[in-house]
Copies of this chain bind each other. A is one copy, B any other.
C-alpha cells in the first residue's frame, strides 16, 4: 500500500493538514496523473476519505480516516530517523511540540508491557496464529 515513491510523502503531508489536490501537487511536485491515482488508491484502502467541501462545482478534499490516523507512528518514525541520520548542518527542518505536555519532543518506540524503549536485538519473533508457510507464496497469492 505504501510501496511506491509517493504514498508515504502524501501521507506525511496529510498529517501536516494538507487536504487538497492542488496543495499536494505543488508541495510535492508529483505529477497530477500519479497524484490522482495515489489518492484514489489511498481512498480505496480506507486510509483517506474523499469529502466534498463545496458545491457547484462539487470539489473534494482528502481527509485521514481513523485507519489513516493510525499510520502516524509510521510517519513519525521515518521523520525521526531522517532527523537523526539525514539532516544537513542547518539542523532539523521541523520541530514537534506535544500539546499535552507543552514540550518539543522526539518520538520513542516503547514496549507496551514494560515501557522500555525497544531495540531490535531485544526482540524475539515467533509464529503467530496467522503464520504463513512461505512468504513468496503468500505475496504471490495476495497479488491476484
- Using a CB–CB cutoff of 8 Å, the interface residues on chain A facing chain B are 2-6, 8-9, 15-16, 26-29, 64, 67, 69-74, 76-78, 80-81, 84-85, 87-88, 90-101, 103-116, 118-132, 134-136, 139-140
A90 to B30, CA, bound (A): 38
Identify whether the interface residues of A are mostly helix, strand, loop, or mixed.
mixed
Given contacts A103-B113, A122-B99, A132-B93, contact A78 B74 (CB under 8 A): yes
The answer on a CB contact under 8 Å between B100 and A114 is yes
A125 to B15, CA, bound (A): 10
Q: Output the least CB separation between A81 and chain B (Å).
A: 6
Contact partner of A109 among B5, B73, B122, B128, CB < 8 A?
A: B73
